[in-house]
Structure 1
Amino acid sequence: MIPAAFDYVAPTTVDSAVRALAEAGDEAKVIAGGQSLLPVLRMRLAAPTKLIDLGRIPEMRGVRDGGDHLVIGAMTTHYDIQSDPLVAEHAELIKLATDTVADPQVRHRGTFGGSLAHADPAGDLLAPALALDARFIVSGMDGRRTVSAADFFVDFFTTALHQDEILVEVHVPKHTDWTAHYEKFHRVAQAWSIVGVAAMVRAEAGKIAEARIALTNMASVPIRATAVEDALIGKQATAENLKAAAEHAAEGTSPTTDGNADPAYRQHLARVLTSRALTAAAGV
Structure 2
Amino acid sequence: MDENLLKTGDLSLTLSWPTDGDGGIYSCRVYNRKGDVLMEKQVWLKVKVQEQVEVESGVESVLLPCRTTESLDGDVRVEWMDDRDRKVHVYQNGSDQPGEQNEFYRTRTKMDENLLRNKDLSLTLSWPTYGDENLYSCRVYNRKGDALIVKRVQLKVKDPEQVEVESGEESVLLSWTITKDLDGDVRVEWRDSRDKKVHVYQNGSDQPGEQDPSYRTRTKMDENLLKTKDLSLTLRRPRERDRGIFTCRVSNRAGVIRRMKQVALHVKGQWFKCIFPIS
Task: Name the TM-score class by shorter chain.
Answer: under 0.3
**TM-score scaled by structure 1?**
0.25
Higher share of residues assigned strand? 2
Higher share of residues assigned helix? 1
**TM-score scaled by structure 2?**
0.25
